[in-house]
Structure 1
Amino acid sequence: MHTYVRTLTKIASRYAPSRILSFDSTHVIKVLQLLEKEGHVSRNLLCQELSLGEGSIKTLVKHLKMEGLIDATNYGTTMTEKGRKLASEILSLIPAETSIPKCSIALGKFNYAVLVKGFSFAVKLGIEQRDGAIRIGALGATTLLFKGGKFMMPSMTNHDSLKNESGIYRILIDKLKPEQDDVIIIGSDNEDR
């Protein structure tokens, strides 16, 4: 797992003295998801889906090429075998996603929950996930740990955060199918992206 994190971090880092990058590892994962789903994508589609400018997309594509994860031609961007392997491994850790309505723990007009398998050990207070969501333009994010059949905020591991939200509890159980020590990150925004 550390290898994947290092690879994502390397792609989202500056290689030489340059401007601060406007993308991070979450953008890299989104590119891998898009390529996995679509097979090939244009830079224009990447700009739209990632809400980044063309210069940032060119730099991101260059970094992915330098790692040998993609091939880019005039016809679009496709994954290499190495890219498909990395995408498969990373995306197996993020097997399910779903939209959820506004509620006490998801305050945006649009809320999207993502399941991360077995990573509760890596979550400190959930602030890192919130800050990551804000960096990519969202209002914020709520992090929940699934333990003992309950959803708990990292700093409140004895409190059932969805005790009064049975509808949201049901959606997360039915759509994400979490297991012990899984993490659910709910990104919130007032725009549908």
Structure 2
Amino acid sequence: MHRHLRNHVDRNFLHTHVTISNIRNITFNIHLPTNLLTSSGVSVTHSGHSQRILREKESLLKLTSERIAKISPTTIIIIDNTVYIFVEPMPHVFKQVLEKLASEKAPGPSPTFSVLHLLHAIELLSEKTIGRDKLAENLNIGEGAVRTIIERLKNAGLITTSKIGCSLTSKGMKLWKEYTSIAKKVEIGKNELTLAKYNFAILVKNHGNKVKSGIEQRDAAVKTGAKGATTILCKKRRLIIPSASENVAKDFPEAANQIFKLLKPKENDAIIIGSADTSADAEYGTLAAMWTLINDC
């Protein structure tokens, strides 16, 4: 793919060279006057011709040219002498792996755990080695369910087991780091947006554009046992709630203060606050709401 794209560019782009370092990272060596370059979300430096950008498929870079080509997973489309280069995002590996493990068929009754229990198990094991009984207690599931979880995680090479308990492997830790690169979960105190005694908030980086109305996240949380969930977006340095508030800091100041202090949201981040009468229901409800955004990737 590197050679194909480079050859195409050498033939058809006027003094413009493109190389791919991986699916997400593209290095552009641009030998054009900067006034010929326009961009969306990309700054142009005048100190040199080379710049590296990391962007999802919504971002595009415009270059002057006269050809059309498509090289998956990068798409090049030329319209009116302007080249649009789209970089497709990589799928979330942790999502694919955990959903595959959760959906595995096994003899006997259907499992009493979900993909969220697998995710929470990896979170707990990322902090320390935990025995089976303690893991079952922390996950709020029975002995049979935790035994199946351990077996599946071990077979997938994500954990190891010993006399002292279960631990993440390097593969498991890599999966966990991928998840935490886009999501951050915290316990949050009562505020104007919380609905019950126990409350969690989770930030999903750069996924605000995937929120439609917030109803999908609320319904997912309720289905899991929570009282409800509120979805908040960070847009233009301001927190908003779709169809409810254009300025959370003004309408719900305590909630806004907690969100900014604990999660430090940035542009296009989504924040979900889930509430329930038990800590487990609040936590799993918040995770379920978050998963609706990940599922859209």
Same structural fold, with TM-score higher than 0.5 when normalized by the shorter chain: yes
Within a 5 Å distance, the mapping from 1:89-128 to structure 2 comes to 89-95=178-184, 97-103=186-192, 105-128=193-216
Contact 1:97/1:114, CA 8 A, preserved across alignment: yes
Correspondence for 1:21 among 105, 111, 136: 111
Q: Deviations over 1:13-72 (max 9, x none)?
A: 13346533322222222112111112x111222222111111111111122122111112
TM-score normalised by length of structure 1: 0.85
Q: In the superposition, relative to structure 1, how do residues 131 and 60 fare at CA in structure 2: closer, same or farther (>3 Å)?
A: farther
Contact 1:145/1:182, CA 8 A, preserved across alignment: yes
Contact 1:41/1:77, CA 8 A, preserved across alignment: yes
**Which residue matches 2:39?**
none
Which secondary structure state, in structure 2, belongs to the residue aligned with residue 143 of structure 1? strand
Q: Output the amino acid matched with 1:123.
A: V
Q: Separation in 2 of the partners of 1:131 and 1:17?
A: 31
Runs of 4+ residues deviating >6 angstroms: none
Higher Rg of the two aligned structures? 2
**Which residue matches 1:160?**
247
**Which residue matches 1:75?**
164
Deviates more, 1:138-147 or 1:81-90: 138-147
Q: Percent identity?
A: 34
Contact 1:102/1:111, CA 8 A, preserved across alignment: no
Compute the displacement of 1:9 (Å): 0.9
Correspondence for 1:148 among 236, 244, 248: 236
**Which residue matches 2:147?**
58
Contact 2:187/2:201, CA 8 A, preserved across alignment: yes
Compute the displacement of 1:115 (Å): 1.4
Count the aligned residue pairs: 190
Q: Separation in 2 of the partners of 1:45 and 1:141?
A: 28
CA RMSD of aligned residues (A): 2.3
Contact 1:133/1:139, CA 8 A, preserved across alignment: yes
**Which residue matches 1:179?**
266
Which secondary structure state, in structure 2, belongs to the residue aligned with residue 159 of structure 1? coil
Which secondary structure state, in structure 1, belongs to the residue aligned with residue 273 of structure 2? strand
Which secondary structure state, in structure 2, belongs to the residue aligned with residue 41 of structure 1? coil
Q: In the superposition, relative to structure 1, how do residues 131 and 27 fare at CA in structure 2: closer, same or farther (>3 Å)?
A: farther
- Return 5+ residue gaps in structure 2 as ranges: 1-90, 281-297
Compute the displacement of 1:10 (Å): 0.9
Q: In the superposition, relative to structure 1, how do residues 86 and 57 fare at CA in structure 2: closer, same or farther (>3 Å)?
A: same
**Which residue matches 1:7?**
97
TM-score normalised by length of structure 2: 0.58
Between 1 and 2, higher relative CO (CA 8 Å, sep ≥ 6) is seen in: 1
Q: Separation in 2 of the partners of 1:66 and 1:131?
A: 33
- Return 5+ residue gaps in structure 1 as ranges: none
Q: Separation in 2 of the partners of 1:126 and 1:80?
A: 36
Q: Separation in 2 of the partners of 1:15 and 1:111?
A: 34
Q: Separation in 2 of the partners of 1:158 and 1:134?
A: 22
Q: Output the amino acid matched with 1:34.
A: L
